[in-house]
Amino acid sequence: MDCLLGRWMRVAGLALLGVLMLAPVGCTTNPATGERAFTLYSWEEEKQMGAQAAAGLAAEFGGEVEARIPSEYVEEVGMKLTEGVEDGVPPLDWEFTLLNTDVINAFALPGGKIFFTRGLAERLSDEAEMAGVLGHEIGHVTARHGNQRISKQIGFNALLVGAAVAVGVSDSDSGVRQYGQVAIPGLAIGGNLVMLKYGRDDESEADMLGMRYMERAGYDPSGQLRVMEVLEAASEGSSRPIEWLATHPYPETRIERISQILREQYPEAGNRAVYTINSEEYQRRMLTPLSRLDPAPDAKTSLLDFPELWCGHCRAVAAAE
Taken as a whole, the chain contains a residue count of 321
Residue 53 lies in a domain: yes
Region of poorest pLDDT, from 15-19, 68-72, 74-78, 158-162: 15-19
Instruction: Tell me how far apart the alpha carbons of residues 233 and 312 are, in angstroms, rounded to a whole number.
Output: 12
Residue 5 lies in a domain: no
The mean pLDDT value for 77-100 works out to 97
The mean pLDDT value for 174-196 works out to 41
Instruction: Tell me how far apart the alpha carbons of residues 74 and 113 are, in angstroms, rounded to a whole number.
Output: 13
* pLDDT at site 173: 54
Residue 187 lies in a domain: no
The phi, psi pair for 66, rounded to 5°, reads -80, -20
The mean pLDDT value for 93-109 works out to 92
Residue 52 lies in a domain: yes
- Is residue 83 over pLDDT 90? yes
* pLDDT at site 152: 67
Instruction: Tell me how far apart the alpha carbons of residues 143 and 154 are, in angstroms, rounded to a whole number.
Output: 19
Picking from 255, 28, 258, the residue whose alpha carbon sits closest to that of residue 151 is 28
Q: Which DSSP category does 243 fall into?
A: G
The mean pLDDT value for 181-200 works out to 44
Residue 255 lies in a domain: yes
Task: Report strand pairing: 113-117 vs 95-99.
Answer: parallel
Residue 79's pLDDT band (cuts 50, 70, 90): very high
Q: Residue 38 in 3-state DSSP?
A: strand
Residue 39 lies in a domain: yes
Residue 266 lies in a domain: yes
Domain containing 221 equals: 29-144+196-320
Instruction: Tell me how far apart the alpha carbons of residues 316 and 321 are, in angstroms, rounded to a whole number.
Output: 9
pLDDT tens-place string over residues 223-263? 999 999 998 888 776 665 544 445 667 788 899 999 999 99
The model's pTM: 0.76
* pLDDT at site 150: 74
Picking from 105, 60, 57, the residue whose alpha carbon sits closest to that of residue 300 is 60
pLDDT tens-place string over residues 20-32? 444 444 678 999 9
The number of domains in the chain is: 1
pLDDT tens-place string over residues 297-316? 765 554 444 444 434 333 33
Count Cβ atoms below 10 Å from residue 190 Cβ, excluding itself.
Answer: 11
Residue 63 lies in a domain: yes
Long-range contacts of 17-25 (CB under 8 A, 24+ apart): 18/158, 19/154, 19/155, 19/158, 20/155, 23/151
Q: Is 229 left (phi over 0), alpha (psi -120 to 50) or beta?
A: alpha
Mean pLDDT of the residues in the chain = 77
* pLDDT at site 223: 97
